[in-house]
Structure 1
Amino acid sequence: METTGGGAFQPTLPKLEHPPGHPLEPNATSTPPKKKQKRNKPTLSCEECVERKTKCDRSRPFCLACSKRQSDCKYSDVANIIASADRGARSTASRSRKQSKPTELGEAPHTSSLQMHVPPTPTNRSQYRSVSLSSTGSSPFLLSNIPYSNQTPSPYFGLGSEHPFANYWTSRGGLLEVIGVLPAKDQADILVAKYFETVDPVYPMVHRRNFYADYERFWSLPDAEKQAADPVLVALHFVVYAMGTQFIPIDSDGRVQMAEFYTSASQQALRLSSYLSRASVRTLQAMVLICYFLMNDNHASDAWAFGGVLMRQAYAMGLHRDPDIIAPRCSLSDKHQRRKLWQAVFFQDTFLTVLLKLPPSATFSDVRVESLTEETDDYATTNGTSLSGSQDATTIINPMSIRNIAPSSDAFPPYEHSDRLYIRWMWHMANLVQSSVCTPRSLGNPLVGSPWDRANLIARYDDLHASIPRILCVSDAAEVLHLATSNPRSLRQNLFFRSNFWHCVMIIHADENEAGGVSCDVKGALEAARQALKAFFDFWEHLKVDAAVWWVFQHRAFEEALLVARILGTQEQALSPGLDGSSPAADPLLAQAKVDVRRCLDILDLAGGEPEMQKTRTDVLKTAFAEILW
């Protein structure tokens, strides 16, 4: 343990040590040193800059550095091909921009054609300018608008175009190779604990008690017997290590390299298990976590493709069917595990497609939300023994526990029950979101046919919000602080629920259907976007390390701030100059929304992630913010 200047204790990760011959161990001596594995990335700089190791701006025909040196500037054939393809894409985008605003490049489909509509004789300061938000166009995921006519294979989702699983493995090494790169047990303990602290609250699909039992049994085996272990179990262990590593506050480059290596080991173990033709609950648990890892590691396009395989395997296993129907003799525990795993697959598919604007896949199921009962709570204990093996004096099944003798007076329920509540209500929300948002947007269709339809749809979301447990939707600053200090697990669940819910409500308010007389509801969209951004601000304030890792949370916040900025950019003439000459800054909602955009921009400028993606987000948002002329 180490202490900071303020006297607070902070856990530190032990030095990462690996067995002799480990691919990432620089001092390995038992085997000859191997040449460092290079990433499969083409060199785009000119040959002269590469040779001199200087920065190249990659301009044609001569880069700036070669022009200053007056040296010969040559590019490789691969670099020229890539540059030619990029120029073609930019030329197409340039022609498109001639018919639209310059700031439309890379915006979301529902913000891709911002237009000015002068309202008929506004009568008061509450009259906002109507905004037309088209829902058509190619997927703008990670700000990429690749023309559908482009025949060259392209990274449709922007960045992360390299293969996500680096190959450290030989063709005949088998599971022995994978077992040989396990971390030290004390390091593995830290990573597993970090996983259950940061990831499990958001995606509670791995039965903690069972995992720890298998985990301790595996580590108690002699090395020779570990080599005969189930490859799927090893795969699940390694991806848990990878996810835990992403949330360890150590050197960024070292953390990324180690996490990617553990994921590669997980994928290799899955390959050795023939996971494409043989699936199990553990297989799908590992695949779900690999998808989330890839998103956080700037390989979102790979996560989308990998998720397609996961979806097919889930269907093949019958996870979409109610266990009471297809497996009535299955144990109650196994039935609950299947339901929770299906919910995790369904949740991942639904809310990833919200960002991608692509068709949802988890559309066929007869598993009932109500079938999730208290037996699904992994934090319940047996005979006074906690899930990690230690004694727990406050177990909920102990009749002499303090909680049962003197029930807590806290405003929120005990955390043992929060997982069940969280799973149920995220499931309810995903059902509603998939039918009302994902399906129509995947085809570029309006979400509603008339103002009456939108009012009814918003009422359905309002009814859902009114029925959810308070612990999942509370946003008051004092109560959020209370959760942060007393129950971080429930706070993580609260933040993810609020962010997803209000993001979808914002999309519905912002959607427009000219044929049906539906225009953007400026007030509704701004209020919902501000609620969603507040969840992101709370995340950054109370759980900054987590907020810097979760790509989905950051990208939702980016889209919310971008939409707000686009709307605010049209409001400079929304108020009648004939009244009192007031600017939009005098309107509290508009002024507060502008402050939120500025704050989100500042946070995204600091948040972790791939530098190019981070820069692209902030540049686009800065451009939109500059269009707010008041």
Structure 2
Amino acid sequence: MQPASSAGVDSGQTSPSGLTGSPTTPRSIQEVVPRKPKQKRNKPTLSCNQCVERKTKCDRGRPICLACIKRQSECHYSQAANLIASADHGVIGNARYINRPPKRVRTGGSVGSGVATSPTSQHIQDSKIFRRRSFSHASTGSSPFLLSNAPYVKSTPSNVFGIGAEHPFANYWTCQGGLPEVVGVLPSKDQADILTERYFTCVDPVYPMLDRQSFYADYESFWSLPLPARYQADASMLALHFVMYAMGTQFVQLNSYKERSQTSEFYVSAAHQALSISSYMNRTTMQTIQAMVLIAYFLMNDNHASDAWAFAGILLRQAYAMGLNRDPDAIVPHASPTEKQQRRKLWQAVMFQDTFLTVLFKLPPTATHSDVSVEALSEDQSDPNSHHPSNGSPSALTSPSTAPPLSIPSPRTLNQMSISAVCATPAQGPNRSPLSPSSLPAQPPAPHHTLPPSSSRSDIAYIRSMWRLALLVQETICSPLSLSLPLSSSPRHKASLLSSFRTLHRSFPARLTMLDSAALAQLHARDPRSVRQNLFLTSNYFHCLMVLQADENRGAGVACSVRGALEAAIEAIAAFWNLWRFFEREAEVWWVFGHRAFEEALMMANILAGEDGEEGPMGPLFERAKLNVERMLDFLDRGGGSVEMQRTRREVLREVYDRLRL
């Protein structure tokens, strides 16, 4: 019996190959229709094994992709995928995919327990493990500087930074009060002049983002309005006024820290209420952003760093939405030169605040996407075409005409739970603020509505210097610190980073790099504004240089530079002592400056605690560092500012210092 295939072919039926006729062997079929060889994939598979097997989309996230998280399966990658991921330094394709930090970084005591340890206990534990690492930021899951108690898995809310447990904006306000309720608690014109002058004396030199001439034009026009017209004023402008009063109050000499704090918190609550009335969450102006920048600094000075960080997040989103991060020539080409200048200065203030706040908090920077050029910031402040509403026209001060009219409450219908009723005393009446005239100097100095041209040029040079420093710090320090990663990948890389910082420092103007105390004293006698700018730039620069010098990456052969870290820390903390010497009242207020000084003292103490002795060429350097630690302890013992904050700092620093004497 013939096979079926042969019979089919002999009978003239179609063969499997589609041919008819004579018998055809399998070999002849292959010769007629050659089989196409199977091609192998040359591109390596970057997806995880589970997603490849299930043929599902993989986001290639590490240590576990999103798909494996959803189906609760183990996530493994091929060796080729792991090699490609490690070659890209943890970033695959784009910045969305971040690798888990090295295993040695994740061995902090608080990670395994799932409970956030206190800064003191975490500090002691880590210093025993890494004594000579000068308390490198990558050594622990929590920041060693009293800022971040890592909120891992806790059923109750945790205070992220360990400070500022109360809500920062006291609620004195009613639902129906509106802007008239806020206007009703304005200080007197004389008090407002004093507080505004204190702002421009103490705050404006350090953060020169306001155009003084434009501000005073609006300021004088507002105060010249009758009371009913003030009820229709621009709420964001009123918010800026109140936060400037709040910051000015922080620098006024009052009887006690508590009195100064209560009065300034009252004004900042009014500023926040004015912002709420202006719907600042979905409507924004230049004055809105300016007010929010100052509110964040106020909250830090008021020991509410946690709230300042959260509030700054909203500020960054609003700045992006307004396009401040874009080149004004591209996004508002028809704007006046003055407005473009103000946009650049305001973005620098937002970016500077975000950058150096993240250095202290060890959290990711946010103000990272911008095409605004530092060089585009012009020194020419004159603009004949700019509009300064100095003629007292209410149109520049009032809300848009499309806004609904605000109801003005009459005295007969005054809500007894309103701010006017709550804060009224028999001696004050319903529309007086809690700051009495006797608390302020009797004859305030007349405010200067314009800066001298030399000061304006100096401000631009200072802004440019701070701007360039912030850009460098964002790239080299903020991002690695936020992931507890080493700052340098090799000794050569660390040397390159240090060279970049030193080159940048040499580009700063000479008056901003002056370190000699005697020379600073002479400069203070003729130009205290420049001295403030010098001290803030010096503190920020050398603090970041200290962090870089103390960085370690043992796996890559990068060691802590003991000499470099101590020298940078000594220069940084010297800026704080000079601030205390020249501006004692201001040194008590500036939280960011004081906390940097505390970190520098703590860094020096940990380095000294990890060294065996002080013999040899570095002996004098060790002695200088120890004297600075002792001076900081004495400063904290004497108090000043928030008693609770100073007590916590003193306890942590004392723990380390006691080991130096053993």
Interval of TM-score (by shorter of Structure 1 and Structure 2): 0.7 to 0.9
Deviation at 1:585, TM superposition (A): 11
Q: 1:292 aligns with which of 261, 284, 297?
A: 297
1:178 matches 2:182: yes
Identify if the C-alpha distance between structure 1 residues 415 and 219 changes in structure 2 by more than 3 Å, giving closer, same or farther: same
1:151 matches 2:189: no
1:214 maps to 218
Deviation at 1:155, TM superposition (A): 0.7
Q: CA RMSD in A?
A: 2.8
Please list, as runs of the form range in 1=range in 2, the aligned pairs for 1:200-599 lying within 5 A after superposition: 200-251=204-255, 252-376=257-381, 396=453, 414-571=454-611, 573-574=612-613, 582=615, 587-599=619-631
Residues in 1 aligned to 2:127 and 2:447: alpha-carbon distance in whole angstroms: 57
Residues in 1 aligned to 2:576 and 2:297: alpha-carbon distance in whole angstroms: 18
Q: Which letter maps to 2:234?
A: D
Name structure 1 gaps, 5 residues minimum: 1-91, 118-128, 397-413, 576-581
1:17 maps to none
- Quick check: 2:126–2:135 contact (8 Å CA) kept in 1? no
Q: Deviations over 1:572-606 (max 9, x none)?
A: x256xxxxxx5x79811001110111112222333
- Quick check: 1:355–1:556 contact (8 Å CA) kept in 2? yes
Identify if the C-alpha distance between structure 1 residues 177 and 161 changes in structure 2 by more than 3 Å, giving closer, same or farther: same
Which SS does the other structure have where 2:641 is aligned?
coil
1:161 maps to 165
- Quick check: 2:119–2:143 contact (8 Å CA) kept in 1? no
Please list, as runs of the form range in 1=range in 2, the aligned pairs for 1:71-86 lying within 5 A after superposition: none
Name structure 2 gaps, 5 residues minimum: 1-108, 391-445
Q: Deviations over 1:397-423 (max 9, x none)?
A: xxxxxxxxxxxxxxxxx4332100100
Q: 2:644 aligns with which of 574, 599, 612?
A: 612
* Normalised TM-score (structure 1): 0.74
Identity of aligned residues (%): 54
Which SS does the other structure have where 1:250 is aligned?
coil
Residues in 2 aligned to 1:531 and 1:316: alpha-carbon distance in whole angstroms: 39
Q: Which letter maps to 2:465?
A: W
Identify if the C-alpha distance between structure 1 residues 131 and 622 changes in structure 2 by more than 3 Å, giving closer, same or farther: closer
Deviation at 1:148, TM superposition (A): 1.1
Identify if the C-alpha distance between structure 1 residues 161 and 420 changes in structure 2 by more than 3 Å, giving closer, same or farther: same
Task: Report the count of equivalent residues.
Answer: 492
Residues in 2 aligned to 1:515 and 1:172: alpha-carbon distance in whole angstroms: 63
- Quick check: 1:139–1:357 contact (8 Å CA) kept in 2? yes
Residues in 2 aligned to 1:585 and 1:627: alpha-carbon distance in whole angstroms: 23
1:196 maps to 200
Identify if the C-alpha distance between structure 1 residues 137 and 376 changes in structure 2 by more than 3 Å, giving closer, same or farther: farther
- Quick check: 2:195–2:244 contact (8 Å CA) kept in 1? yes
Q: Which letter maps to 1:199?
A: V
* Normalised TM-score (structure 2): 0.70
Identify if the C-alpha distance between structure 1 residues 198 and 627 changes in structure 2 by more than 3 Å, giving closer, same or farther: same
Bigger Cα Rg:
2
1:11 maps to none
Residues in 2 aligned to 1:600 and 1:389: alpha-carbon distance in whole angstroms: 36
Residues in 2 aligned to 1:267 and 1:594: alpha-carbon distance in whole angstroms: 44
Deviation at 1:485, TM superposition (A): 1.7
Q: Which letter maps to 1:161?
A: A
Identify if the C-alpha distance between structure 1 residues 319 and 202 changes in structure 2 by more than 3 Å, giving closer, same or farther: same
Q: Deviations over 1:340-368 (max 9, x none)?
A: 00000000000000000000000100000
Deviation at 1:114, TM superposition (A): 5.2
Q: Deviations over 1:524-554 (max 9, x none)?
A: 1000000001001101111110100000001
1:53 maps to none
Which SS does the other structure have where 1:594 is aligned?
helix
Q: Which letter maps to 2:630?
A: R
Residues in 2 aligned to 1:595 and 1:495: alpha-carbon distance in whole angstroms: 20
Q: Deviations over 1:138-185 (max 9, x none)?
A: 245535524512231011111211111000000000001000000011
- Quick check: 2:239–2:271 contact (8 Å CA) kept in 1? yes
Which SS does the other structure have where 1:627 is aligned?
helix
Q: Which letter maps to 1:187?
A: Q
Which SS does the other structure have where 1:279 is aligned?
coil
Residues in 1 aligned to 2:337 and 2:378: alpha-carbon distance in whole angstroms: 10
Residues in 1 aligned to 2:182 and 2:130: alpha-carbon distance in whole angstroms: 59
Deviation at 1:616, TM superposition (A): 0.3
1:105 maps to 121
Q: Deviations over 1:276-301 (max 9, x none)?
A: 00001000000000000000001110
- Quick check: 1:548–1:607 contact (8 Å CA) kept in 2? no
Deviation at 1:477, TM superposition (A): 1.3
Residues in 1 aligned to 2:529 and 2:343: alpha-carbon distance in whole angstroms: 23
Deviation at 1:326, TM superposition (A): 1.2
Deviation at 1:390, TM superposition (A): 6.7
